[in-house]
């Protein structure tokens, strides 16, 4: 029975992974280590916080001694490493935090794992799974084949460069020291608990308030959208049957231009306002509340510097070797995600109006 350390488990994908894992493996010990930066949210872990198998530790992945202590004292044999600075726009305006957390932080995790597992021999077998991104492969032209595991690295933003550096360190710790690592490079995730600075949740929250929907450049940039539940299943398959030292790409198999994606989301919103009569009074500023169309809020704005044109993932390897298949279609996933934001208004309001930050200040600082 694995005993897991999940870093970044209070963030978007990490929290979804914690719920996924504990639903399927309720008796496994699972410790979340998270620094609770602006992107970490304890409310994401509320449903599991009182389970005996679960423990939350507030701490920094750069605190190597803390990580060593957790691995040793809890007899942990599996690390699932999500913790990172994750937003490209933030990396453009302030790259330092990305180097500190994504590069130095990952190295700190690897050093701790090596010390405890390889030198201390605390457990008979171990696994260090590193969660990375397709952005390390750079940008594709319209007719280029999708990224596969042997596509050369060509990161373009400080974010993707920091993730690329962390991937190389993970690889090096396997080759040099024999650490049993796996890495997954996945495409753009979406789903519950997604911080409203990323495209999909930002558009949902803005359209509900009748605020403009900013589309960078011409809106023709393409992303491969992966529902977070499919991503979590992919990681579970890698932890169970993935081969140490290997890299697996995980994608949703759905490419969409940003403009098309936002237009689809607008149609989902318009339909929801027609079907759910209370929405008009809950969100009176949304155009759909007055019989209008949310797509009327779309505005083209200045492009992101260095904006990658297209990402697409070839997930043939994880499909062939581990039986992975993305199960959630983009249209159904967008509908489900939109409904999650409607049902969890308290969650995004707390994140956005600063009340959650104030609560953390009182309880955790």
Catalytically active residues are: 134-135, 159
What is the layout of strands, in order, in the sheet containing 78-81?
54-58, 30-34, 4-7, 78-81, 127-133, 181-186, 247-250
Residue whose C-alpha is closest to residue 282's, from 291, 295, 271, 273: 273
Which one among 2, 4, 5, 12 touches ligand NAD, defined by CB under 6 A?
Answer: 12
- Residue 133 is a binding residue for ligand NAD (CB under 6 A): yes
Of the pair 261, 297, the CB lying nearest ligand NAD is at: 261
Helix (DSSP H) and strand (DSSP E) numbers for the chain? 14, 12
Interacting partner of 36 out of ligand NAD, ligand TYD, none (Cβ under 5 to 8 A depending on kind): ligand NAD
User: How far is the CA of 360 from the CAs of 41, 49, 112, in angstroms?
Assistant: 9, 16, 28
Contact status, residue 248 vs residue 317, Cβ threshold 8 Å:
yes
Contacts of 329 (CB under 8 A, 6+ apart): 254
Binding to ligand TYD by residue 32, rule CB under 6 A?
no
Looking at 122, 188, 256, 295, which residue binds ligand TYD (CB under 6 A)? 188
In the complex, least distance from residue 73 CB atom to ligand TYD, rounded to whole angstroms: 36
Structure tokens at 5: 């350390």
d(CA 62, CA 334): 36
**The entry of ligand NAD, ligand TYD, none that residue 137 binds, CB within 5 to 8 Å by partner kind:** none
Query: How many CB atoms within 10 Å of residue 357?
Result: 15
Nearer to ligand NAD, 13 or 262 (CB): 13
- With binding defined as CB under 6 A, does residue 258 bind ligand TYD? yes
Question: Is the CB of 101 or the CB of 156 nearer to ligand NAD?
Answer: 101
| Stretch near ligand TYD under the rule CB under 6 A, chosen from 53-61, 67-75, 213-221, 347-355 | 213-221
Q: Of these, 64, 182, 188, 249, which contacts ligand NAD (CB under 6 A)?
A: 188
Q: Does 216 bind ligand TYD (CB under 6 A)?
A: yes
160 near ligand NAD, judged by CB under 6 A = no
For residue 189, the minimal CB distance to ligand NAD (Å) is 4
The pairs formed by 72-77 with CB atoms below 8 angstroms and a separation of 24 or more are 72/116, 72/120, 72/122, 74/3, 74/5, 74/29, 74/31, 75/3, 75/122, 75/123, 76/3, 76/4, 76/5, 76/29, 76/31, 76/123, 77/2, 77/3, 77/117, 77/123, 77/124, 77/125, 77/126, 77/127
Residue in 64, 78, 86, 295 binding ligand NAD, rule: CB under 6 A: 86
Q: Which is nearer to ligand TYD, 26 or 305 (CB)?
A: 305
The residues that touch ligand TYD, with contacts defined as CB under 6 A, are: 88, 188, 198-199, 202, 214-216, 221, 223, 258, 304
The residues that touch ligand NAD, with contacts defined as CB under 6 A, are: 7-8, 10-14, 34-37, 39-40, 60-62, 82-84, 86, 101, 105, 131, 133, 163, 186, 188-189, 195
């Amino acid at each position: 029975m694995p005993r897991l350390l999940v870093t970044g488990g209070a963030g978007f994908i990490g929290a979804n992974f914690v719920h996924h894992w504990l639903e399927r493996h309720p008796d496994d010990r699972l410790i979340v280590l998270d620094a609770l930066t602006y992107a970490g949210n304890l409310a994401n872990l509320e449903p599991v916080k009182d389970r005996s198998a679960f423990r939350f530790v507030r701490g920094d992945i750069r605190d190597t001694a803390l990580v060593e202590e957790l691995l040793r004292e809890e007899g942990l044999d599996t690390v699932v490493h999500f913790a990172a600075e994750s937003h490209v726009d933030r990396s453009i305006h302030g790259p330092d935090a990305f180097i500190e957390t994504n590069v130095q932080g990952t190295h700190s995790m690897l050093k701790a794992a090596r010390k405890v597992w390889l030198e201390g021999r605390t457990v008979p077998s171990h696994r260090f799974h590193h969660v990375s991104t397709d952005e390390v492969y750079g940008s594709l032209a319209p007719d280029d084949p999708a990224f596969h595991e042997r596509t050369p690295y060509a990161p373009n933003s400080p974010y993707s460069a920091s993730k690329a550096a962390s991937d190389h360190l993970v690889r090096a710790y396997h080759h040099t020291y024999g650490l049993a690592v796996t890495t997954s490079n996945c495409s753009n995730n979406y789903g519950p608990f997604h911080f409203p600075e990323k495209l999909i949740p930002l558009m949902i929250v803005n359209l509900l308030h009748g605020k403009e929907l900013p589309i960078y450049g011409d809106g023709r940039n393409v992303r491969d959208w992966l529902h977070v539940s499919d991503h979590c299943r992919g990681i579970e398959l890698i932890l169970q049957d993935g081969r140490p030292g290997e890299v697996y790409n995980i994608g949703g198999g759905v490419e969409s231009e940003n403009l098309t994606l936002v237009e689809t989301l607008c149609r989902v919103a318009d339909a929801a306002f027609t079907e759910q009569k209370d929405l008009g009074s809950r969100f009176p500023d949304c155009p759909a509340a007055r019989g209008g169309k949310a797509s009327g809020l779309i505005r083209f704005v200045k492009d992101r510097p260095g904006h990658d044109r297209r990402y697409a993932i070839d997930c043939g390897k994880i499909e062939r070797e581990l039986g992975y298949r993305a199960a959630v279609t983009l249209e159904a996933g967008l509908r489900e995600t939109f409904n999650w934001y409607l049902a969890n208004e308290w969650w995004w309001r707390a994140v956005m109006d600063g009340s959650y930050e104030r609560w953390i200040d009182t309880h955790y600082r």
